[in-house]
A and B are shown apart, each in its own frame.
Chain A
């Protein structure tokens, strides 16, 4: 035994690289590159490889990405949150109704949405923690509630038209390159907007919270073994409630990003969005049983999910439901890899 342990010690570097928790991220990156390369070969001539297409992959799914940040944390605790899309949709409705019908400044509407979203998140977290109701059921009820309130506000799609919103949505930074002594926009025009920045910022914040704060590490501990975490003296209850609160925050932010993207509020918007967020996180290596997952993986997961519709758009002939099937197959591939790795790595003990 002594020999074995010192052998394992010598391999520290490789142990780190082949940490089973990262292999999923590698797999996600690899499959992304394969699909991207495939697209580049097939549709490179019609603009698949341009910077614009690449950046748009971030922008088109930014709201799912933002939501996936909070979702990743919830999943790491071993929970689940089905209410995110409904809360995001509710945010859109509040902004649309507030600005359009009641004439309130959108900033106040957004602020109010945060109060509602975070409040609901905390409430659900408390229900899960203190009343022992399973997360699935609690957040499902939360989803029904949020959707119901959406419908209560309006069943019609409401347009959001407010100069402040237009300004935010229209804000862009163009990519430029240096040609003949002056900066000109790259062709085809590529830019990053507020949604892009929100998405990347949330990924970074999420990364920081998970890796560099005690709160974040407690999230992992709870997911690893909640009972142990309790006995180790970690603040389990507080952490769990706060995670759902934070996820509520992310949902509202996702709703804001979506509102900026479509400039309208609709009670049925983003239906099934919670599953998009969950599957992005899972493709990125987050385990639904909890304890495993990271932000880099989630980022790649979101990108992987947006490269498929992009491919279908470039193809032009395929109907959109092939996208669903491709996503399903992709999910199947990833969970198979994941299961294989977990089974393999837990079997081997030192």
Chain B
């Protein structure tokens, strides 16, 4: 009954220099189903998708679409065959209008001219289907990431493809938007479209998928119906290890009399965050919870001097410090792993060694270089300590996987021996194993008397690690709770109540 499937990928193999990215992987998709593709980072999900969309070329195996064998050679090709994709990073043109982004390359024409009226009209209708009441004639860059993500989904949906691939479409969406997206996905499913869905959020998989296929290290683990596996089984299959052994973490032990390492009183920037006060003890791990855009990142940026606070004051070890730029913060032994690793974290073409030594070097100033020998020692030490998977320290950081890149950034800051380490979404987009390792490292630092501020959208990891949790909402701090004995529901309630209280 091969005809059941709209898409069949058989024995796909892809060889990258040095590694076999995919080894005899089978994947199939029925019309009218949502099929989740799961695996840790580097498991081969993206490679499989890229093979299907013509970005990477397969070395062996066959792809059968609608009963015909196909070999897509470019994204253009794939779209023509009826394979529409929303890639992980937003792949739209910020300078074009929303409407044009949806219709680029397939604009409705009238008298052999681009029909702008039609484009704008249809785009508006389409966006309304997603309950997005926006002006489609404005350039894309004026809108937030969430809106942009919805636009790219709208484009992919409107192409009227046989197969829709959604590669981590929900990472920048809030709950409401995710719900909207799922509604649309259900509609498309009813229309008979096959949807491949990739996400790191396990809950979402159970909400929307019919089946799932799990990959690990480029190998196929298996395909299952959604009710065949529980979450724990699923993670075990993805990681190849037991969940409990992975997350066997203990909260940091804070001395009640420990001195305050960093205190901020009533800091704020007009129009960004207002009146945030925190006090962080030595050896404490403080979690920052809140929705995206609630002011978590902005607060962290003030504490690191990325944007200097306009009001209030920041004290480090009971001394008032003036943080105008990151350099000032680093001089005061504060460190910061930014949210957008690719944009603000890694220096892609520099080696692991250079990346690790960078912040320490910056603190010393360029006239006092760290000798090559010291650099080698430093990088060797951290590669070993953090378990960075690389043949040697001379590999470019850009060539590492996301989790390993994050570890290098962490090493960069650990090398400066900071008193306070601020981590903004350090576990986003990296696999479960690496997540656990990064959390373990944070807790180890606390044990050594360093303080950590941990920002994350995933409440379970905040609750698991934090001593205290600051809850942000609408650019303000609304509550502070103890990590011990706190549940996800408690925090969600505070966020929701905060909403009604502020409005």
Contacts and interface: CB of A to CB of B under 8 A. Distances in A.
Interface of A: 2, 5-6, 8-9, 11-12, 15-16, 19-21, 211-214, 216-218, 220-221, 223-225, 227-235, 291-292, 345-346, 348-350
Chain B CB count within 10 A is highest, among A228, A233, A292, for: A233
A349 B95 contact: no
Contacts, number: 109
A221 B143 contact: no
B91 A228 contact: yes
A19 B138 CA distance: 8
A232 B92 contact: yes
A217 B113 CA distance: 11
A227 B133 CA distance: 28
Contacts of B137: 12, 15-16
A64 to B, nearest CB: 26
16 contacts: A5-B147, A9-B133, A9-B134, A15-B138, A20-B139, A214-B105, A220-B93, A223-B93, A225-B91, A225-B94, A227-B91, A231-B87, A232-B92, A233-B80, A291-B94, A350-B142
Nearest to A216: B114
B155 A232 contact: yes
B76 A213 contact: no
B134 A234 contact: no
Contacts of A11: 135
B85 interface: yes
B351 interface: no
B63 interface: no
A217 B92 contact: no
A148 to B, nearest CB: 35
If over half of B's interface residues share one DSSP class (helix, strand or loop), that class is named, otherwise mixed; here it is loop
Contacts of B109: 214
Given A9-B134, A232-B75, A220 B96 contact: yes
A2 B76 CA distance: 35
A20 B76 CA distance: 31
B35 to A, nearest CB: 21
Interface of B: 53, 55, 74-76, 78-80, 85, 87, 90-96, 100, 104-105, 107, 109, 113-114, 132-135, 137-139, 141-144, 147, 155
Given A5-B132, A230-B74, 12 more contacts: A5-B133, A9-B134, A11-B135, A19-B138, A213-B114, A216-B114, A221-B96, A229-B104, A233-B76, A233-B80, A345-B141, A350-B143
Contacts of B114: 211-214, 216-217
Contacts of B107: 214, 217
B481 to A, nearest CB: 26
Contacts of A214: 105, 107, 109, 114
Minimum-distance CB pairs A-B, first 6: A224-B93, A291-B95, A224-B95, A233-B79, A228-B91, A233-B76
A225 B92 contact: yes
A224 B97 CA distance: 11
Chain B CB count within 10 A is highest, among A6, A292, A350, for: A350
A231 B91 contact: yes
Nearest to B141: A346
Contacts of B96: 217, 220-221, 224
Contacts of B94: 224-225, 291
Nearest to B293: A1
